[in-house]
Amino acid sequence: MKHSKAFCTIITNNYFSWALALYDSLVEFDRDIILYVAVVDHSVEDHSSKTIGKNIKILTLGDFDGVKFSQEIIHQYKDNLNVLRWALKPVLVSKCLEFSEKVIFTDADISFFNAYQFLFDYLDASHILLTPHWRPLTPGENPAEFNATFKHGIFNAGFIGANAHGKGALEYWAENCYIFCGNNPEVGLYHDQVYLNLIPVYFEKVKIVRDLGCNLASWNIDFCRRTKDTENDEVNINGTFPVVFIHFTNVTIDKILKGEDHLLKPHLERFDNSLVKNGFKSIISQRLEYFDRLIREQNESLWDKQIKKLKQIYYRIRY
């Protein structure tokens, strides 16, 4: 018997703590939710002790046998686990649809802060869910982010929802990821992501999620303006939408820490606390250490910089 709904994500062994943090944010709003975690390493560590009492199901590469384009993708990208993760997203969603009626994929650096049942409800009438990046509408606001729409795609591949009727779109996505999953700006391709642009054109019943509290990140600061409700001290988007989930990419984290997206700092701290609780080093500390290192490097003397370059050349030749 199939479950009614489930989430899934895809990681390497060393990011299992991130999957646990994602699960913690999900279970806060639905204690029965299931999270499928696909681990793409060719040798998977035993994570069972970390999942005791949790509705987490671990999948390995061997579990994808029989899913269309799975073996071609695994063979094509077996030596690059990051690309393998990206290319296997549609395969993972298709696999999870064997166990659940509705499946939502999210990257493991996403965290939820409000109820998300409405996303599954959308799949009652729709076959696929997509979230736009919501980058600026004109180049006058932020030229770099405006241009990124045409380089990186309209929709973000860190989130996609589907039901069984969406398998055609998932197979289209998987086939194209097998053919090419890299960055080729000359022909307008960007890893797994730009292929999503065509799904609302070529496939029926594609729901574009227009709740602006979904998939908040550095790229939508201009369009999805963060505002503070003084009555309840809650952060809203454009004064209307609650914060549903945030995509904590490094750039998103950096903008929060630099004060460019300061209203999301409490959300980042909650995410960071969950990572630490689940055994990962504080991501806030890591990014602050990175800032400090950049400042030190900028302040190095010309002599120190030349010595460092010579050492790098030596190690490349020597090893």
pLDDT bin (cut points 50, 70, 90) of residue 313 is very low
- For 200-218, write each residue's pLDDT tens digit: 999 999 999 999 999 999 9
* Three-state secondary structure readout of 77-117: HCCCHHHHHHHCHHHHHHHHCCCEEEEEEECCCEEECCCCH
Reading phi first (left if > 0) and then psi (alpha if -120 to 50, else beta), residue 94 is in: alpha
Terminal alpha carbon distance of the chain = 55
159, 131 in Cβ contact below 8 A? Answer: yes
Closest CA to 216 of 103, 109, 139, 115: 109
Domains, the chain = 3-280 (3.90.550.10)
Q: Is the pTM above the cut of 0.75?
A: yes
Residue 295: predicted pLDDT: 77
Q: For 125-152, give one letter per residue: b (16+ CB within 10 A) or e.
A: ebbbbbbbbbbbeeeeebeebbebbeeb
The DSSP 8-state label assigned to residue 263 in this structure reads: G
Mean confidence (pLDDT) of the chain? 92
Region 262-286: mean pLDDT is: 96
Share of the chain above pLDDT 70, in %: 93
Angle at CA of residue 5, ends 2 and 10, nearest 5° = 105
- For 74-83, write each residue's pLDDT tens digit: 999 999 999 9
76, 60 in Cβ contact below 8 A? Answer: no
Region 285-305: mean pLDDT is: 74
Region 109-115: mean pLDDT is: 98
* Separation of alpha carbons 60 and 92, rounded Å: 10
Could you please report the per-residue DSSP string of 170-194? Answer: HHHHHHHHHH--SEEGGGTEETTTG
Region 169-190: mean pLDDT is: 95
Rg (the chain; Cα; Å): 20
Q: Is the pLDDT of residue 319 over 90?
A: no
Residue 284: predicted pLDDT: 95
Backbone angles phi, psi at 179, to 5 degrees: -65, -45
* Separation of alpha carbons 56 and 39, rounded Å: 12
Which amino acid does the sequence have at 150? F
